[in-house]
Structure 1
Amino acid sequence: MDIRRLGAEEKFPMDLLLLADPSKKSVEDYIKRGECFIAEISGKVIGVYVLLPTRPKTVELVNLAVAEEMHGKGIGKLLVMDAINTAKKRGYKTMEIGTGNSSIGQLALYQKCGFRIIGIDLDFFIKHYPNEIFENGIQCRDMVRLSQDL
């Protein structure tokens, strides 16, 4: 598997980006301002992440997705670790992530990768998304914020 920055002339893998964030408007906004990285196997894109600078020396991992047929193979963890290493090389001191309260697998993954919960943005998904989101039989209402010193 190869992980690389998406070229300026390449199309964003919207199908994957929308797996992690169902708001096309939000995705289109932050991919213009951030850096998009893809994971490929034999030329096929199987994963993606987006880094977005938010404050001096702080970057947010705003999107992380793995093709559904590739779930359970450790690719998500490899992408998170690549994002951390990329951010360190670029001189960032802090990485942040936000995910839904219903995203149980993602919450576990991020904590396994060294992130700590620093806060909750109550009703974030109710206020900012037009349609209800359900995962794991739980309504996604709140944004759980996590952070890691790099």
Structure 2
Amino acid sequence: MSLITELVPNAEAEFLLPVLADAEEGEERIRATFSDPACAIYASRLDGRLVGAAVVSWPEHEPAEIIYIAVVPACRGRGYGKQIINFLLEELRRRHSGSLLVGTANSSLENIAFYQKCGFRMFEVRRDYFSYIQPPLAEHGIVLQDMLVFRYDLGK
């Protein structure tokens, strides 16, 4: 059966915190997006079982941005993340005609490869973006410091 991704009312999104916590160090930052009227929250289910979630900022003016996207650890590597991205790109076509941004840590090598495989291109570096995480974390022996921002442009 295929993955079904649906919009979740912001006031009912609390159940997604355990999934999204893997994409953010603090629940308070995730909760802040739940109360942001520009943000839409999505839950992805397979046979009724929650396997992923995403939060996207759809501002009046472009570009839109994926704030959080996560797949539960036991379901990774099965193509669900790509299916969620494809859903969000379709949503982009419905809502906008332009671009979708997504950021990841400079140390998240798997994410860097994933977004490029999904058709995103490198766009900018947000230096010292993760300075709020203390003590600093490291992945693959690389200190998490900067956010690498990728951009997907419709029609390109």
**TM-score normalised by L of structure 2:** 0.87
Aligned CA distance change for structure 1 residues 8 and 140 (closer, same or farther; 3 Å): closer
Is there any run of 5+ residues in structure 2 with no aligned partner, and where? none
Q: Residue 96 of structure 1 contacts residue 146 of structure 1 at CA under 8 Å; is this kept in 2?
A: yes
Partner of 1:143: 147
Long gaps (5+) in structure 1: none
CA distance in 2, matches of 1:143, 1:77: 21
Q: How does the TM-score come out when normalised to structure 1?
A: 0.90
Kept after mapping to 2: 8 A contact 1:59/1:92: no
Instruction: Tell me the SS of whatever aligns to 2:66.
Output: strand
1:55 CA drift (Å): 5.9
Q: Could you say which residue in structure 2 is the equivalent of 1:134?
A: 138
Aligned partner of 2:25 among 13, 22, 39: 22
CA contact (8 A) 2:11 2:34 kept: no
8 A contact 2:13–2:34 mirrored in 1: no
1:124 partnered with 2:129: yes
Identity among equivalent positions (%) equals 24
Matches of 2:77 and 2:153, distance apart in 1: 27
Q: Deviations over 1:8-66 (max 9, x none)?
A: 55333101111011122221112222101111122221100111034613210110100
CA contact (8 A) 2:64 2:100 kept: yes
- Whether the aligned pair in 2 keeps the contact of 1:58 and 1:92 (CA below 8 Å) is no
Shift of 1:90: 0.9
Structure 2 Cα separation of the partners of residues 138 and 54 of structure 1: 33
CA distance in 2, matches of 1:35, 1:61: 10
1:46 matched residue in structure 2: 51
Runs of 4+ in 1 over 4 A off after TM superposition: none
What one-letter code is carried by the residue in structure 2 that aligns with 1:148? Y
**Secondary structure of the residue that 1:15 maps to in structure 2?**
helix
Count of aligned residue pairs for this structure pair:
149
Equivalence for 2:4: 2
Mapped pair 1:93 → 2:95: no
- Residue deviations 1:59-118 (CA, integer Å, cap 9, x gap): 101101000000110111111111111111112411011110011111111111111111
Aligned partner of 1:109 in structure 2 is 114
